[in-house]
Amino acid sequence: MASTSSASIPHTYDVFLSFRGEGTRYSFTDHLYEALCKAGIPLSEMTMKSKKLVSEELWLILEQKRTAAHFVLPVFYGVEPSDVRNQRGSFTMEAKEGDEASKWTQDNVKRWKAALREVAELKGMVVSGYATISLYK
């Protein structure tokens, strides 16, 4: 008697959670982290970053999307994608002088702003509270 088995090809995920501000660290981000772990999805990093580092990582993630066809699903918590796209409020960025100037150059800021516009144009999710999740695009 022959036995057939359906061998499944394991999926490999590289999930990067990035957040700014203590306001999301012990609420939304922890819940998302726990849900992804329970689903068996390994996470590569979960750290609090500065705006500069998050902006650079976002640009690198989108570069991987362009060059290696990676799937990117943005999840906006407590912010509207249009604020990200148009760099309003806490998303306002400008080049800096002095000690910060090494990374906050005109070229980097221009690249980071383009990354914010690009990620806000992707299909994704907006989360505004415990049970309020909406898809956009």
The catalytic residues are 57
Residue 19 near residue 6, CB atoms below 8 Å:
no
Phi and psi at residue 89, in whole multiples of 5°?
A: 65, -130
First to last CA, the chain: 52
Cα–Cα dist 89/56, whole Å: 19
Which amino acid belongs to residue 25? R
Query: Which residues, listed in sequence order, are joined to residue 43 by a DSSP beta bridge?
Result: 15
Q: Are 24 and 90 in contact (CB under 8 A)?
A: no
